Amino acid sequence: MVKLVCWNIAGQTRKEVWNELWTMNADVALLQEVKRFPSKLPESVSIDPYPLHEPWNKELLDRWPAIVKLTDRVKVEWFKRVFPISELGIDEFGGSGIGLATAAKVICVDKKVNPFIALSMYARWIRPHKTTKSKWRVGYTDGSAHRILSDLSTFIGDQDPSTHRILAAGDLNICFDGLDDNPNDLPERTRSVFERFNVLGLELVGPRYPHGRKANPTPKSFQQTQKMYLHLRCTRNPRMRNFN
């Protein structure tokens, strides 16, 4: 079993944040909004050998997704982020949007778990073009999520979902199934994101109540349903997951 933690650290650089991560007993961390890594790392910890901003201009953004190896129970082979082209090198991952995703291959040292692709995702807010004269204050995130889906599709080479082993986790800044009572949530567009995940054979495995923490406060759209889905907006709290 490989234990993973997913955490949007919101650009924090305090020692306490990183020390909490080092002591979680997780094997791999899928992080979002990382500004920079500490200068000193525990002996078992390894970080992406490529600059987090590549292939983008680092002056355009100061927070990036990242994947971190936390223990010696696993090996991690990071993919170099490049601009998407029709055919990528075996060690490359094409990113069509700045600061949206990064990927790595995770290998269990004792071979009890087959190797798999791990993907850290962050769906950034995008504002509508000025010609729209939109009143949306922060914009939308489904566009970023769809870019991520397009990029991770490179790891899918068959219609049979059993042929690929992918664990994608992160902060999509949307609610599962959309919020019909909140037009700003763009529920139809939100649903299109999760429908596309399903089409690709990627199943939502959590967290969702009662097998995960209940959303509090609970969005009105979820209060009448038998299953309460966890609000997928960023909570700044880490979430742990095992992968078999």
Single pTM value for the model: 0.86
CB 67 within 8 A of CB 102: yes
Name the helix (H) or strand (E) containing 64.
strand 64-69
CB 183 within 8 A of CB 135: no
Tell me what the mean pLDDT of segment 73-91 comes to. Answer: 95
Query: What DSSP character marks residue 90?
Result: T
The string of DSSP letters for 125-136 reads: -BPPPGGG----
Q: Which of 140, 124, 123 is nearest to 132 (CA)?
A: 140
What pLDDT, on the 0 to 100 scale, is given for residue 237? 52
Reduced to 3 states, what is the DSSP secondary structure of residue 146? helix
- According to DSSP, the residues that pair with 77 across neighbouring strands are 105
Alpha carbon 125 to its chain's center: 14
CA dist 243 and 165 (Å) reads 10
From 8-12, 73-77, 104-108, 238-242, the region with the lowest mean pLDDT? 238-242
CA dist 154 and 105 (Å) reads 13
Q: Return the residue matching tokens 């919020």.
A: 179
Q: What is the CATH number of the domain that holds 234?
A: 3.60.10
Residue 191 pLDDT greater than 90, yes or no: no
CB 109 within 8 A of CB 139: no
Query: Count of domains in the chain?
Result: 1
Tell me what the mean pLDDT of segment 163-180 comes to. Answer: 82
Domain that holds residue 84: 2-243
Single-letter amino acid code for the residue at 196: R
The per-residue pLDDT for range 91-131, each reduced to its tens digit, is: 999 999 999 999 999 999 999 999 999 999 999 999 999 99
Reading phi first (left if > 0) and then psi (alpha if -120 to 50, else beta), residue 25 is in left
Residue 60 pLDDT greater than 60, yes or no: yes
Phi, then psi, of 7 in degrees rounded to 5: -155, 125
